[in-house]
Amino acid sequence: DAKTTQPNSMESNEEEPVHLPCNHSTISGTDYIHWYRQLPSQGPEYVIHGLTSNVNNRMASLAIAEDRKSSTLILHRATLRDAAVYYCIAGGMYSGGGADGLTFGKGTHLIIQP
């Protein structure tokens, strides 16, 4: 997996949009960009993933830079339940030879203020 860089923590207010940035300057052409989140005392939960185009689903939107060296996870209207650690992962494509686990870094601790 390519190395990713995320801020250690971010704070936002409830019902406001949140933009979580991620840099992945060494991403290869076949690496997907995944976002997972981990709520307190739970396992990681899939949020969204994409390759080149921006993606939307019921949970969030993923904006991918044209050069694919960075991406932004957008929560359109944060709630208190969105307080979690958000992980950006670039890679996960099976290489056919080695471990294929998603490389989870330290992520961004998102704090939501009421």
- Could you list the residues that contact another protein (CB under 8 A)? 30-32, 34, 36, 41-46, 49, 51, 91-94, 98-102, 104-107
Using the minimum distance from each CB to another protein, give the nearer residue, 12 or 71. Answer: 71
The 10 Å CB-count burial string (b at 16+, else e) for 35-64 is bbbbeeeeebeebbebeeeebeeeebbbbb
Least distance between another protein and beta carbon 26 (Å): 15
Least distance between another protein and beta carbon 43 (Å): 3
Least distance between another protein and beta carbon 114 (Å): 27
Using the minimum distance from each CB to another protein, give the nearer residue, 33 or 83. Answer: 33
Using the minimum distance from each CB to another protein, give the nearer residue, 14 or 38. Answer: 38
- 24 and 70 Cβ atoms separated by less than 8 Å: yes
Least distance between another protein and beta carbon 15 (Å): 27
- Report the distance separating Cα 65 and Cα 43, nearest Å: 29
